[in-house]
């Protein structure tokens, strides 16, 4: 990793105008990483750094510095260097659909990431799947190359850590994570501000949407916890696409569950699947890979074109086992149908 850091620093030193890209449907890790890079490279190295994301920045992350400066469109050839943070593959930025040559051009790309499924799309690939978040990786990079971590940078890095560890409660919360969190707090990072915005601020529309998800929750015969939410549910609750974030972790609290899957429709005619598990013997990255997705062993996801369709089945059971029961099954288009268990 040190050699990757050295090569990344050489590209940064050579560049004057840099584009820092977050992945689509941005979360606290990708935005915290982009924000930290923007602040550090502009304030300390005198670079011009634009932050970009194909989707709008969710309200809950706007407490970080300069989030109002994130752009959605650009001419990538105007830049000397592109940095992509927290994208498990180049397609996760979704900019390849708008600019087909963006990762094939003469503009070099630094790929900072912590997903095991990363496809090494950069000229320099600083990828470490042992890091709990990409901001943990960037903390190590800043320390290695001598970039000072200011209070605003520390807060952005903490946002990524809190996002990807579920506020320091997921199994990826290692001793290293606690040590780095403590050091970032010493440097002025506002952890209470991060916690409040990520986990303690939910509008009524979000609560209504989560209510739909929890109401639809089931545990199937294989011990898998499942739930669905349609685009109609989003509209009826007055909720935006980003308001689904976080509820899958509530579903993952069902005791004895093999793993959890949440399926939701979006406004573009796609179905997104989010996987979570607390078990060590389940590889969700491999499971998500069957649907063209990826992620981590205990947290992964995918997105495929399609819509959700409910199938209701009735059966007769012996009187001593209860009354008639309704079973809900989840169906995928035939072209992409694969087993979830």
Q: What is the pLDDT of residues 205-235, one digit of tens each?
A: 999 998 999 999 989 888 899 999 999 999 9
pLDDT bracket for residue 198 (50, 70, 90): confident
Domain boundaries of the chain, sorted by first residue? 2-199, 207-336
pLDDT, greater one: 9 or 335: 9
The set of residues, in sequence order, having a beta carbon less than 8 Å from that of 91 and lying 6+ positions away, is none
How confident is residue 327, by pLDDT bands cut at 50, 70 and 90? very low
Q: What is the pLDDT of residue 282?
A: 87
Chain CA centroid to CA 152, Å:
21
pLDDT at 76: 95
**Contacting residues for 264 by C-beta, under 8 A, at least 6 apart:** 228, 229, 230, 234, 244, 271, 272, 274
Rg (CA), the chain: 21
- CATH class of the domain whose range is 207-336: alpha beta
Whether the per-residue pLDDT at 266 is higher than 80: the answer is yes
For helices 175-186 and 151-164, give the axis angle rounded to 10 degrees.
Answer: 150
For 219, other C-beta atoms within 10 Å of its C-beta total 15
> Which superfamily does CATH assign the domain made up of 2-199 to?
inorganic pyrophosphatase (n-terminal core) (3.90.1640.10)
Go through 124-158 and write b for each residue having 16 or more CB atoms within 10 A of its CB, e for each that does not: bbbbbeebbbbbbbbbbbbeeeebebbebbbbbbb
- Is pLDDT larger for residue 201 or for residue 104? 104
Please indicate whether residue 36 or residue 254 has the higher confidence score (pLDDT).
36
Do residues 152 and 39 lie in contact, with contact meaning Cβ atoms separated by under 8 Å?
Answer: yes
pLDDT mean across residues, the chain: 88
Alpha carbons 322 and 151: distance in angstroms, whole number: 60
pLDDT score of 270: 87
pLDDT band of 252, cuts 50, 70, 90: confident
DSSP strand pairing (224-229 vs 299-305): unpaired
As a whole number, mean pLDDT of residues 254-270 equals 88
Greatest mean pLDDT range, 29-38, 244-253, 275-284: 29-38
Is residue 102 pLDDT above 90, yes or no? yes
More confident residue, 336 or 104: 104
pLDDT at 203 over 60: yes
Q: pLDDT (tens digit, 9 = 90+) per residue, 37-74?
A: 999 999 999 999 999 999 999 988 999 999 999 999 99
Least confident of 18-32, 103-117, 152-166, 251-265: 251-265
pLDDT digits (tens, 9 = 90+) for 295-322: 888 888 888 888 888 776 676 777 765 4
pLDDT score at 68 = 95
- Window from 81-85, 88-92, 177-181, 311-315 with minimum mean pLDDT: 311-315
pLDDT of residue 251: 86
Q: Concatenate the DSSP letters of all residues of 102-119 into one string.
A: TTTSSS-EEEEE--TT--
Q: State residue 116's pLDDT score.
A: 84
pLDDT of residue 256: 87
> Where residue 288 falls among pLDDT bands split at 50, 70, 90?
confident
Please give the share of the chain, as a percent, with pLDDT higher than 90.
58
Q: What is the pLDDT of residue 325?
A: 43
């Amino acid at each position: 990793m040190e050699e990757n850091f050295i090569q990344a620093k050489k590209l940064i030193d050579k560049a004057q105008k840099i584009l820092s890209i977050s992945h689509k449907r941005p979360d606290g890790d990708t935005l915290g990483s982009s924000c930290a890079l923007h602040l550090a490279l502009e304030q300390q190295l005198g670079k011009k750094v634009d932050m970009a994301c194909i989707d709008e920045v969710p309200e809950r992350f706007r407490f970080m510095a300069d989030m109002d400066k994130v752009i959605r469109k650009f001419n990538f050839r105007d830049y000397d260097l592109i940095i992509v943070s927290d994208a498990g593959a180049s397609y996760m930025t979704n900019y390849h659909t708008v600019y087909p040559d963006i990762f094939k051009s003469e503009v070099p790309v630094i790929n900072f990431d912590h997903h095991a499924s990363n496809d090494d799309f950069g000229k320099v690939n600083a990828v470490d799947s042992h890091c709990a978040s990409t901001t943990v990786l960037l903390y190590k990079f800043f320390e290695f190359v001598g970039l000072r971590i200011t209070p605003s940078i520390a807060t952005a890095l903490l946002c990524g850590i809190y996002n990807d560890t579920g506020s320091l409660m997921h199994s990826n919360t290692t001793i290293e994570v606690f040590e780095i969190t403590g050091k970032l707090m010493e440097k002025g990072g506002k952890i209470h501000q991060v916690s409040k915005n990520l986990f303690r601020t939910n509008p009524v529309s979000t609560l209504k949407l989560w209510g739909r998800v929890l109401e639809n929750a089931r545990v199937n015969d294989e011990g898998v916890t499942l739930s669905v939410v349609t685009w109609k549910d989003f509209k009826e609750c007055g909720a935006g696409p980003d308001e689904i974030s976080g509820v899958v972790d509530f579903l993952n609290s069902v005791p004895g569950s093999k793993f959890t899957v949440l399926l939701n429709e979006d406004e573009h005619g796609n179905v997104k699947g989010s996987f979570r598990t607390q078990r060590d013997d389940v590889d969700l990255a491999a499971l998500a890979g069957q649907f063209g997705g990826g992620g981590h062993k205990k947290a992964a996801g995918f997105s495929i074109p399609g819509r959700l369709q409910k199938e209701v089945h009735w059966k007769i059971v012996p009187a001593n086992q209860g009354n008639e029961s309704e079973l809900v099954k989840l169906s995928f288009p035939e072209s992409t149908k694969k087993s979830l268990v």
